[in-house]
């Protein structure tokens, strides 16, 4: 009986010593183990939720594939038609180039304004290239007799805008509205300036109005006055 009591007395100090010798991190870890498991479960649930969201997004894109393909086909057809029309008018009816340029500018810039504001890229429209195009429109429809304004617009088109085509690597991608618009902004004024300077030789020299002899001239003036006023 005495032996067992002495063994118990010897065992109890040893267990206390072992507890004291145990690293504090392990003692603390035992108390925070439920918290660690709870944190891992929360991370797992967040990861599962994110993966499910990604899967749903892929499914929605797969359903929209047909619509995207139709949009690409429509844009490609419109881009090819625009290119062919521009080439034809440049050679056969150069007097119509400023009219087509003005119409395309209104349509393309309106679409870019809508999409850029939707994506919160509106400040990208505060660029010199858009200002130079507005100078061209102002010259074409408000001050067509101004030789000085024609020279300024000509310098803008064949200077910064023309060099921007190479600097920004603009490309003719028929199914991309953004690339078509960027190429139009930089390249179309160059074409307009070339046509008006070399194919309409009186323009900018003797003050002859560029719309003289173009069908519908009076109707176009009335429409512009209604928009401007």
Is there a contact between 83 and 172 (Cβ–Cβ < 8 Å)? yes
Block residue for tokens 């290239």: 129
Block residue for tokens 């393909």: 69
Percent over 70 (pLDDT), the chain: 70
Q: How far apart are CA 14 and CA 52, in angstroms?
A: 54
Which H, E and C letters describe 54-81, residue by residue? HHHHHHHHHHCHHHHHHHHHHHHHHHHH
Q: What is the pLDDT of residue 122?
A: 84
Q: How far apart are CA 38 and CA 43, in angstroms?
A: 9
Q: Which helix (H) or strand (E) holds 189?
A: helix 177-194
pLDDT lower than 70: segments of the chain: 1-31, 33, 62-68, 201-229
Instruction: Report the b/e string of 10-45 with b at 16+ CB within 10 A.
Output: eeeeeeeeeeeeeeeeeeeeeeeeeeeeeeeeeeee
Is 0.85 topped by the overall pTM?
no
């Amino acid at each position: 009986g005495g032996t067992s009591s002495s063994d118990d007395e010897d065992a109890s100090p040893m267990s206390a010593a072992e507890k004291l010798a145990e690293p504090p991190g392990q003692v603390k870890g035992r108390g925070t183990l439920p918290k660690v498991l709870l944190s891992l479960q929360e991370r797992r649930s967040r990861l599962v939720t994110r993966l499910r969201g990604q899967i749903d997004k892929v499914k929605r894109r797969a359903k929209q594939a047909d619509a995207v393909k139709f949009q690409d086909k429509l844009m490609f057809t419109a881009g090819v038609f625009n290119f062919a029309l521009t080439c034809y008018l440049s050679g056969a009816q150069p007097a119509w180039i400023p009219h087509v340029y003005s119409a395309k500018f209104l349509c393309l810039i309106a679409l870019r304004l809508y999409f850029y504001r939707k994506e919160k890229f509106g400040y990208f429209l505060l660029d010199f290239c858009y200002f130079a195009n507005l100078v061209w429109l102002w010259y074409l429809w408000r001050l067509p007799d101004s030789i000085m304004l024609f020279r300024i617009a000509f310098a803008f088109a064949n200077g910064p805008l023309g060099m921007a085509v190479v600097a920004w690597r603009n490309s003719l991608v028929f199914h991309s509205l953004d690339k078509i618009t960027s190429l139009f902004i930089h390249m179309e004024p160059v074409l307009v300036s070339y046509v008006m300077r070399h194919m309409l030789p009186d323009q900018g020299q003797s003050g002859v109005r560029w719309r003289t002899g173009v069908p519908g001239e009076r109707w176009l003036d009335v429409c512009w006055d209604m928009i401007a006023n």
